[in-house]
Structure 1
């Protein structure tokens, strides 16, 4: 598998501009203009899977460190692997709920950011758009172990591989909700070590809107893409495929190993057809595809 640092990553259809853009006035401005509270955020996320917002929390074999200031990263360590995500925030902590949500001022007066540690050993890095004039794009800095690479799933999440080619974890499919609990279209783009989440409200959107990059260890459901060079490598090495997905939790690790030969076979066909292979996770069913990341 071709490995490269996240700094060299190019995701699918390209990268949107990372500069802040203001939303169209057509969106319904039904909210206040002050920073939303932890209660607003927890209404969107729920509190069942939250850990207390201590400086350091441990769950599912991982330690999560929440930031004391908005410009500090959320860190999660599992074994010898540490990942970190820095919020689009500034200043000292403004609120801390008893359920486990820390709130910080955002980079714009109509935006707030928040951090939550979760019971699966992961974390949420949230932001809230307070009104219709809030910037639609918010950027996070992602720090990964040396040699780690990132792929985007068809569902919009991000899967992270370590330098040995096994899955560390990733960011789940992005979501955003308005004040009425209605889903708001949202997506990630990646440039270097910057993850930008874009939220696209419409005239019926009720503010505030809460959005959430969520880090999870292990398998991220979706579709993992391979480019042409990687497809050729997969086609010639079923053993590599078995190792690639061995980090999946049971019973999905067995699925990956059992499907290794089939994945290599489909990759061989894709390579012969001048196409690429994609693998559905966690079923590990392979398919041919073209366009996008297939270069």
Structure 2
């Protein structure tokens, strides 16, 4: 993974060594901790730093387990986080900033934008799995609990709910189906005591809207996290309604699926697809990297249905 941290250097009154705040001393002998230091410490307490890609110089390359991608963090809060695949396609995410605060990067790789919105700090992290986090810190009870992240998707890409609170980012598989080339993880939020705070996503067009359900017992600050990856062909392939009907009738749509009539464990692919048709849904499959052929047992184990009342855009 190539990490480009194009962040303007800000003068700090403290040193950030391996992500740990080491305070300088003010003239009166007290510790002088900057807003950036506080923002870094809060975020890294919530996330840890084990999966954060170190910042380093622009163009530094880190091998990721799932391939090579380029993660670019913005120099200021009104910029966009970008995760680009080796073919040049990219998914970008805008931060929910109101003020174009300059970014400051810690040695551990966390870039913070203090006071970028009302009662709110923002932050970004490149992660070693080939993705990026956009982090929101609600500093007190007056901070807005609804955060909006505008997504920039490649042409032809769309979002499909994964059934676990997140979304797959899919593109055409080339002939039939749509393959997940990226993923938005289910959201999380933690308060100052490390207690989970209920949170969820909904989509407004291509804007990811995160709701954070704070309450009277919430300890501030609260850190919340959208995390996404892009550019690694793995995960799930989705079929639309017409393709699902073909499979239900015993027809072939892609070479890597076994014949729909092939049976394993008393089930067939045609039967799973038939259920999807009967319930006005579509069929999906877990796939091998590179779309390697699946055995009947593997195909059935990785099959499922999606769409219907969820209103997924590809199941139509």
Normalising by structure 1, we get a TM-score of: 0.72
* Cα distance change of structure 1 residues 199 and 231 upon mapping to structure 2, 3 Å threshold: farther
SS at match of 1:162: strand
Match of residue 55, structure 2, among 32, 35, 53: 53
Answer yes or no: is the 8 Å Cα contact 2:83–2:229 preserved in 1: no
Give the C-alpha shift of residue 94 in structure 1: 4.3
* Cα distance change of structure 1 residues 130 and 168 upon mapping to structure 2, 3 Å threshold: same
Query: In 2, Cα distance between the equivalents of 1:280 and 1:206?
Result: 42
SS at match of 1:291: helix
Give the C-alpha shift of residue 43 in structure 1: 0.7
| Partner residue in 2 for 1:292 | 310
Q: Deviations over 1:62-111 (max 9, x none)?
A: 11111101111111112212111111123242432111111114553211
| Partner residue in 2 for 1:275 | 280
* Cα distance change of structure 1 residues 264 and 118 upon mapping to structure 2, 3 Å threshold: farther
Query: In 1, Cα distance between the equivalents of 2:143 and 2:74?
Result: 24
Answer yes or no: is the 8 Å Cα contact 2:246–2:252 preserved in 1: no
Q: Once superposed, what is the RMSD of the aligned Cα atoms?
A: 3.2
Answer yes or no: is the 8 Å Cα contact 2:101–2:116 preserved in 1: no
* Cα distance change of structure 1 residues 207 and 275 upon mapping to structure 2, 3 Å threshold: same
Match of residue 85, structure 1, among 93, 96, 109: 93
Query: In 1, Cα distance between the equivalents of 2:240 and 2:55?
Result: 41
Answer yes or no: is the 8 Å Cα contact 1:235–1:264 preserved in 2: yes
Answer yes or no: is the 8 Å Cα contact 2:180–2:237 preserved in 1: no
Answer yes or no: is the 8 Å Cα contact 2:135–2:226 preserved in 1: yes
Answer yes or no: is the 8 Å Cα contact 1:47–1:99 preserved in 2: yes
Query: In 1, Cα distance between the equivalents of 2:49 and 2:210?
Result: 23
Give the C-alpha shift of residue 181 in structure 1: 0.8
| Partner residue in 2 for 1:27 | none
| Partner residue in 2 for 1:23 | none
SS at match of 2:42: helix
Query: In 1, Cα distance between the equivalents of 2:246 and 2:61?
Result: 38
Task: Count residues in correspondence.
Answer: 245
Query: In 1, Cα distance between the equivalents of 2:246 and 2:165?
Result: 25
* Cα distance change of structure 1 residues 277 and 116 upon mapping to structure 2, 3 Å threshold: same
* Cα distance change of structure 1 residues 45 and 184 upon mapping to structure 2, 3 Å threshold: same
Match of residue 169, structure 2, among 137, 155, 160: 160
Match of residue 109, structure 1, among 114, 118, 122: 118
Q: What stretches of structure 2 of length at least 5 have no aligned partner?
A: 1-34, 258-263, 288-300
Query: In 1, Cα distance between the equivalents of 2:237 and 2:196?
Result: 25
| Partner residue in 2 for 1:177 | 190
Q: Deviations over 1:27-47 (max 9, x none)?
A: xxxxxxx78511110111110
Query: In 2, Cα distance between the equivalents of 1:183 and 1:286?
Result: 30
**Higher relative contact order, chain-length normalized (CA < 8 Å, sep 6+):** 1
Give the C-alpha shift of residue 274 in structure 1: 3.8
Normalising by structure 2, we get a TM-score of: 0.67
Q: Deviations over 1:8-60 (max 9, x none)?
A: xxxxxxxxxxxxxxxxxxxxxxxxxx785111101111101111235455442
Q: What stretches of structure 1 of length at least 5 have no aligned partner?
A: 1-33, 244-257
